[in-house]
Amino acid sequence: MTETPASLGYRMPAEWEPHEATWLSWPHNPETWPGKIEPIPAIFAQIVAALREHEEVRILVGDDALEKSARAALRARGCPESNVRFFRIPTNDAWMRDHGPIFVVQPGRGVAITDWKYNAWGGKYPPYDLDDVVPSRIDEALRLPIFHADMVLEGGSIDVNGRGTLLTTESCLLNPNRNPALTKAQIEERLAEFLGLRNVLWLGDGIVGDDTDGHVDDLTRFVGPNTVVTAVEDDPADENHRALHDNRQRLQAMKDESGRLLDVVPLPMPPPIHYEDRRLPASYANFYIGNGAVLVPVFDHPRDEIACATLARLFPDRRIFPIPSTDLVWGLGAIHCVTQQQPAAAHG
């Protein structure tokens, strides 16, 4: 029988555990942000500037021209390039959370890569051949142990507490456009084998406008071993109200790996943001937890302050960085979607 990460003692750590680095894929595809790609590199530069003081930032660029463009964007932001490294790895798009490696740790063995299949959210946006091999290309640079999982999985579709519990959604992982040959039980088994889990919690539907079929990182996030924040919409007339209410009801009955009920903290939704006639998947839940910082997408609305204050209370030892994301979410993703953490090797 082939050894799995779990059989060797590996686990996926929580996002708030120490990082060695954060990975980004530098934006370059104009089809991702129709008519709006110009401001996107400056937002990425702001992300890099917020993170580089606390951890290395590793950026994928496909060629010299893109690397020069990225360096120019960092200079324009006044961001020093110390603690920033570029890797010559081409990509189709910029969503590192979904096409990047999912790292696992084991105290005696260090860090390893789990490499899942990637099909651009059910084949929606071809080509995705370059993105699908990003984990293997990163492993060529890092020379870490790597485990190949025979299952489609995006990083944004899962969230973990580092103790053995994972959150996900039925609308995404059970969608036939991902793994039609696998049952729910088989999906849970594969997650357990590769990420060191023993408790999978299933939410229902995602938010309106989310082309990923309902990624959990727009809905509900672990902020502690037994604590989650979850997006809420109080207006019954809002089209997100019902799904978010249902997910909150589910959470209030859910238990962690030790059998304790979760502590559920509400996080407001921003007001509706539209591109032409389409509602965009704007959510404060798409924040990213760095070593000394929490990067929060904001949308020029009074609710920004409520979201940031909520996360500041939950992460008192980290600085809150509001990142203006109205232009970024035009591409149907935000801060968490473009980042991927690599845990520190010594922290197993």
Residue 348 lies in a domain: no
pLDDT of residue 329: 97
CA distances from 137 to 52, 91, 131, 280 (A): 23, 10, 10, 32
CA distance 158 to 239: 23
Query: Which residues pair with residue 166 across a beta bridge?
Result: 160, 200
- Active-site residue identified among 79, 172, 308, 337: 337
* pLDDT(348) > 90: no
Q: Give the count of beta carbons closer than 10 Å to the beta carbon of residue 127.
A: 10
What number is the average pLDDT over the span 48-70?
Answer: 97
Residue 1 lies in a domain: no
pLDDT of residue 198: 95
C-beta separation of 270 from 234 below 8 A: no
Range of the domain at 232: 6-343
Residue 335 lies in a domain: yes
pLDDT of residue 1: 46
Is 337 labeled as catalytic in the residue annotation?
yes
- Model confidence at 347, pLDDT cuts 50, 70, 90, reads low
Residue 329 lies in a domain: yes
Residue 152 lies in a domain: yes
Q: Is 228 exposed, middle or buried (0-12, 13-18, 19+ CB in 10 A)?
A: buried
Residue 157 lies in a domain: yes
Number of H helices, E strands in the chain: 10, 18
Residue 117 lies in a domain: yes
Q: Give the count of beta carbons closer than 10 Å to the beta carbon of residue 183.
A: 10
- Model confidence at 112, pLDDT cuts 50, 70, 90, reads very high
Output the average pLDDT for the chain.
Answer: 97
pLDDT tens for each residue of 175-218: 999 999 999 999 999 999 999 999 999 999 999 999 999 999 99
- Model confidence at 298, pLDDT cuts 50, 70, 90, reads very high
pLDDT tens for each residue of 151-180: 999 999 999 999 999 999 999 999 999 999
- For residue 32, the domain's CATH number is 3.75.10.10
Q: Give the count of beta carbons closer than 10 Å to the beta carbon of residue 219.
A: 32
Question: How many domains, in total, are found in the chain?
Answer: 1
Residue 66 lies in a domain: yes
- Percent of the chain scoring above 90 in pLDDT: 96
Task: State the pairing for strand pair 102-106/110-117.
Answer: antiparallel
